[in-house]
Amino acid sequence: MDLARARRDLANALAVDDAGDRSRAVRGLLVRRGAEVLQIDPALAPGLGPLLHHVSAAPAGEARRGFAALLVLALAVDGVLKVSLSRPRLERAVCGLVESALPDVLWRAGYPYGAATESRCRFLFGLHATMEDHSQPLEPTFPGWLTGLQARRRD
């Protein structure tokens, strides 16, 4: 998952002055990146809601993880997806896609899998702040300098 690319693409889309144009730019970015996952022409991509369902069903891979990361970052932008997420079907699509594409990130962040869809979406709205920390590889349980009993026996 390339968080740097997702942040860069989102920053470029948000560089538009008008709020309405900014929202359209971010939605357009999501449609283009979703079309990349599905390997279709962006002009042929359905709207954002149906696109989320299709991407959820796409085979797992780096492009799908990157799209899910971009979606989480876009959720933090006021007016882009929050207003339209009042529709339960779209809420379920967003949660389903992120749950299937980024399970390790969600597990580390303490995602409320068993909660209501609204609670899970609220959690996703704040995930952008810590997603980079939760996507880092796990560190070993024991520090590297601790070598165990064999090192003591040599002393």
Q: How many Å from the N-terminal Cα to the C-terminal Cα in the chain?
A: 45
DSSP character for 81? S
Among 87, 108, 111, 110, which Cα is nearest to 99's? 111
Per-residue pLDDT of the chain (155 residues; tens, 9 = 90+): 677 888 888 888 888 778 778 888 888 899 999 999 999 988 888 888 888 889 988 988 899 999 999 999 888 887 777 555 567 788 888 999 999 999 999 998 999 999 998 899 889 988 988 888 777 776 666 666 666 655 555 55
Using N-to-C axis directions, what is the helix angle for 62-75 and 19-38, rounded to 10°? 160
State which H helix or E strand residue 62 sits in: helix 62-75
Q: Determine how many CB atoms are found less than 10 A away from the CB of residue 136.
A: 9
